[in-house]
Every structure is written in C-alpha cells, then in structure tokens.
Structure 1
C-alpha cells in the first residue's frame, strides 16, 4: 500500500530513527510493504519499507509497545490520537530509499491519498 507521510517523518523512517508508522485505521488487506509518498513540498514517492508486524490496541498500550522506536514524541502521538480509543502501528523492517524519487503517475495515481491506497 502507498502511504502519504509528512517529509519530516519520511526522513526519520529513511534514517532509521522511526521504526513505526502510526495510523488511526488499519488497512483491510494483508499487506507486507509500504510504499512511501512524501507529502508537500516533496510530493514524490521516495522509498518503501517492509511491514514486519501490525499492532492494533488501545492508544496507551500501543504507545507503551512502540515508544522507544516511535520516532515521535508522546505529545505529538497524543494529539494525533486525541478522542480515539484504538491505535494502529506498522512495525517497519527493511527500508529502501529510491535513488530517483517517482511521481504518483508512475504508479497510475492522479492524486495523493488522504491516508493510504492499495497498489
């Protein structure tokens, strides 16, 4: 699946300091790879990451399980999940940075997904 991710978080995924990608909704399909779309101002597909595990649980419990390698602070996490009971975390494995970032159109897409899109 292709995920739209803020460039700051993309940088942390690519440099290895962020080992989890957080979402409010779990994708329905079994996926084993995330294709990384860096949002504005980059607006390119810059790499991909293997999914090693999907954690879905109460917001506080997911933080306890992921905090050390979350790549984000607790305040940001709490703001993101404000009012939510469940959190989803994709544990990232091997990350590959593309030498030449790609356009959405290279994947047959005309627009950036709000959250994710299946490829």
Structure 2
C-alpha cells in the first residue's frame, strides 16, 4: 500500500493552489518513501485539511534554476522565494496536479490521534477522507 503525506501550507498559498495559480509547492526536503496523495493542511488560523492532490513527482535543482523554471506558476513572490531558500544549495518543487478540494474541510484532530501540524510533512497510512 502506498503512503500519503500531509503537508502544512500557509492559507495564502493554499488559496493559490486551490485556484490553480500555484502549480508547484516548494520544499527544503522531500519524501523518502513512495507517495500517492498529498493532503493539504492549511495552517493557522484555518487549521484544517482542505483537500489533496495526486503526487506527480518533483524537480530538484538549485534555487535559481527552480525559480527560472517554475516562477510563472509559483504562487509566491521572488523575494519570499529566495528568503526561504537562502541557506540551501538545492530546492525541491513538488508538482501539483489533479487537485481534489473537500466540500467540508477536515479537522485533523478529529481524524488522527495525537495530531500535531507537521513542520514540513508527515506520513499517513491510507486516506483521511
């Protein structure tokens, strides 16, 4: 059985994903296991899982090359992007495809025992919805 992950994303970027303006999610580290779906946890003040997208792979490159390749669908301004990767030699851009938005966002504390919002991501066996 493939695993899924939950990733924490700030609400302003979640909205960019849900409207299709953001087609890449940037990370400093990437999953080590085979992933099927990526659940989107919208951080404070929402604190809900709002949907998921199918994992379609990622790009690993220098921050400059990633920015040049993905900036059109980054959903983030250049200054914030470079601040985020300021101490990193490599950047990861997760491809966002096949988004499924939940009609009613899920409170993860009701579905998962001892849920703590992940700093980057957390593995999840099976589906949450």
Superposed pair shares fold, TM > 0.5: yes
Q: Secondary structure at the match of 2:75?
A: coil
> Normalising by structure 1, what TM-score?
0.94
Distance 1:14-1:34 versus aligned 2 partners, 3 A rule: same
Other-structure match for 2:127: none
1:41 corresponding residue in structure 2: 45
CA RMSD of aligned residues (A): 1.1
1:10-89 alignment to 2 at 5 Å? Answer: 10-89=14-93
Question: CA offsets, 1:89-108, max 9 Å, x none?
Answer: 10110111101111113144
Residue 109 of structure 1 and its aligned partner are, at CA, apart by: 4.6
Instruction: Give the Cα separation in 2 of the matches to 1:91 and 1:110.
Output: 26
Task: Tell me the TM-score normalised to structure 2 length.
Answer: 0.87
CA distance in 1, matches of 2:114, 2:53: 19
Return the match for 1:112 from 86, 92, 117.
Answer: 117
Residue ranges of structure 1 left out of the alignment (5+ in a row): none
The total of aligned residue pairs comes to 119
**Runs of at least 5 residues in structure 2 that lack an aligned partner in the other structure:** 125-129
Q: Which runs of 4+ in 1 moved over 3 A?
A: none
